[in-house]
């Protein structure tokens, strides 16, 4: 496998729907600051993480970026689409994730980025309206316009490779239906303006058709439909999603595996949030909230496996609320009350109050995903990349298996995938004593 990975030569395009949003301005501002040597890539596994190789006695633990061939940050070229026509310096001020002195320090770099016109449909994001929007007779024509944008961007910046990552608003909740069931029906639907084809699906289709790996950072259905999964396999394009695992859900997937590991019961988990940025405003619409709610609710079921442990988790009541509260901006605050029980059924409680910065947690995830998805493409991997579940609230997975949500299993899976790609032995954690003391 190792010899089959194409080198990370030349520049890598990073194309982002949602170009003027909080996450995007935080990624690009961050990468620009890091390139200048003024900031550090904290939270990024590809930039700071190490991976153990071989036996513990070998003491081999290189940085991940020295172990697998990844693009350098200097080689990333950013571009994207948004419904607001403003440069990223203006957008970063509005998003107010980075503080003002920080933004001023990056003014020259951020001002140089401007979005391309977006593919947008207000029916899918009810609480936003913008004017920087493409117009066409039908959805297939919109896809062709996006595909031309991609080709032009690659040509202008002399790029061989690019990745697309959806960092745009959460679309309203829709379920998979007939038009999503095959490529033929989907393409017919694009031509007939089928209302069940959302903008994020048009971006995903364009990305795959142009050979770009596609990542979905939001919970909408987007690329997770049979038509696009089969297209990605036939085009040799990797897919990953959905919904970046930041804040409260990150905490959930750290705490819940611990409760289960110790066979402690959980009968209630109440999660509430206040959030005041544009994402919060979009999620204030019940149909967009429903998409997020489904994504946030799914994690506990698969970690706690109620059907296998009915005495411990059979009665679990799980509730998630998100409240739009403008004064907080991107500095989300979340509260979790967890009702647990132990030996002889005695009840206990855990309270978590996380004062996080959502996009500060999301930006390094997005960066890692871009670099790993480019690696996946160069290694010849196509379709759903389950080994990247680590980064998502509702990881895409094959229909016949349940998703893996436990953060620690997800990390092991990711690391073993890298070892496998590079021809290293997979780590099982069987100790030295097992091999030495076990009778043959």
Ligand X SMILES: NC(=O)c1ccc[n+]([C@@H]2O[C@H](COP(=O)([O-])OP(=O)(O)OC[C@H]3O[C@@H](n4cnc5c(N)ncnc54)[C@H](O)[C@@H]3O)[C@@H](O)[C@H]2O)c1
The residues of the shown chain that bind ligand X, judged by CB under 6 A, are 17-18, 20-23, 81-84, 95, 118-120, 125, 128, 130, 167-170, 199, 217-218, 243-244, 246, 277-279, 282, 358-359, 361-362
Instruction: Kindly tell me which of 95 and 98 has the beta carbon lying closer to ligand X.
Output: 95
Instruction: Kindly tell me which of 8 and 128 has the beta carbon lying closer to ligand X.
Output: 128
Evaluate the CA torsion angle 401, 405, 409, 411 in order and state its sign: positive
Q: Cβ of residue 345: shortest distance to ligand X, in angstroms?
A: 37
Instruction: Kindly tell me which of 84 and 313 has the beta carbon lying closer to ligand X.
Output: 84
Closest-approach residue to ligand X (CB): 21
* Strands 238-241 vs 161-166: parallel, antiparallel or unpaired: unpaired
Q: Cβ of residue 309: shortest distance to ligand X, in angstroms?
A: 29
Instruction: Kindly tell me which of 169 and 207 has the beta carbon lying closer to ligand X.
Output: 169
CA–CA gap between residue 220 and residue 224 (Å, rounded): 9
Q: Cβ of residue 306: shortest distance to ligand X, in angstroms?
A: 25
Q: Cβ of residue 119: shortest distance to ligand X, in angstroms?
A: 6
Q: Cβ of residue 406: shortest distance to ligand X, in angstroms?
A: 19
Instruction: Kindly tell me which of 313 and 390 has the beta carbon lying closer to ligand X.
Output: 390
Q: Cβ of residue 282: shortest distance to ligand X, in angstroms?
A: 6
Instruction: Kindly tell me which of 118 and 376 has the beta carbon lying closer to ligand X.
Output: 118
Q: Which of 103, 95, 244, 228 is closest to 166 using CA atoms?
A: 244
Residues with Cβ < 8 Å from 436, sequence gap 6 or more? none
Residue 320: enclosing H or E segment and its boundaries? Answer: strand 317-324
| Longest Cα separation, the chain | 73
CA–CA gap between residue 128 and residue 32 (Å, rounded): 29
Q: Across the strands, what pairs with 265? A: 341
Residues with Cβ < 8 Å from 310, sequence gap 6 or more? none
Residues with Cβ < 8 Å from 111, sequence gap 6 or more? 87, 88, 89
Q: Cβ of residue 225: shortest distance to ligand X, in angstroms?
A: 17
Q: Which of 284, 282, 329 is closest to 122 using CA atoms?
A: 282
Instruction: Kindly tell me which of 34 and 133 has the beta carbon lying closer to ligand X.
Output: 133
């Amino acid at each position: 496998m190792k010899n089959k990975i194409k080198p990370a030569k030349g520049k890598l395009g990073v194309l982002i729907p949602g170009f003027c949003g909080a996450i995007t301005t935080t990624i690009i501002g961050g990468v620009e600051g890091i390139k200048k040597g003024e900031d550090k890539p904290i939270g990024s596994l590809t930039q700071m993480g190490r991976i153990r190789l071989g036996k513990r006695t070998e003491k081999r633990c290189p940085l991940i970026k020295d172990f697998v061939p990844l693009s350098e940050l200097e080689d990333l070229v950013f571009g994207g689409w948004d419904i607001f026509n403003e440069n990223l310096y203006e957008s970063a001020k509005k998003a107010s994730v980075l503080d003002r002195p920080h933004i001023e320090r990056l003014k020259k770099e951020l001002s140089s980025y401007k979005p391309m016109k977006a593919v947008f449909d207000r029916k899918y994001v009810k609480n936003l309206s913008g004017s920087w929007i493409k117009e066409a007779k039908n959805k297939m024509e919109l896809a062709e316009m996006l595909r031309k944008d991609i080709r032009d961007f690659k040509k202008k910046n002399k790029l061989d490779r690019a990745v697309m990552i959806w960092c745009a608003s959460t679309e309203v909740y829709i379920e998979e239906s007939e038009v999503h069931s095959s490529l033929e029906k989907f393409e017919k639907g694009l031509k007939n303006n089928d209302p069940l084809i959302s903008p994020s699906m048009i971006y995903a289709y364009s990305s795959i058709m142009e050979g770009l790996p596609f990542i979905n950072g939001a919970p909408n259905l987007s690329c997770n439909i049979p038509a696009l999964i089969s297209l990605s396999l036939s085009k040799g394009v990797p897919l990953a999603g959905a919904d970046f695992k930041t804040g409260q859900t990150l905490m959930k997937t750290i705490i819940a595996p611990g409760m289960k590991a110790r066979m402690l019961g959980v009968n209630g988990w109440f999660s509430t949030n206040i959030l005041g940025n544009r994402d919060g405003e979009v999620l204030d619409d019940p149909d967009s909230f429903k998409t997020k709610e489904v994504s946030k609710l799914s994690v506990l079921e698969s970690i706690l496996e109620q059907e296998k442990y009915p005495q411990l988790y059979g009665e679990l009541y799980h509730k998630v609320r998100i409240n739009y509260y403008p004064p907080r901006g991107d500095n989300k605050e979340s509260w979790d009350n967890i009702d647990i029980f132990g030996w002889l059924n005695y009840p206990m409680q855990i309270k978590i109050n996380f004062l996080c910065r959502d996009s500060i947690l999301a930006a390094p995830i997005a960066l890692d995903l871009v670099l790993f998805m480019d690696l996946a493409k160069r290694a010849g991997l196509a379709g759903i990349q389950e080994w990247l579940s680590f980064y998502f609230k509702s990881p895409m997975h094959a229909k016949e298996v349940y998703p893996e949500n436990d953060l620690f299993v997800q990390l092991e899976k990711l690391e073993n995938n890298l070892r496998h790609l590079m021809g290293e032995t997979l780590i099982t954690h069987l100790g030295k004593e097992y091999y030495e003391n076990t009778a043959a």
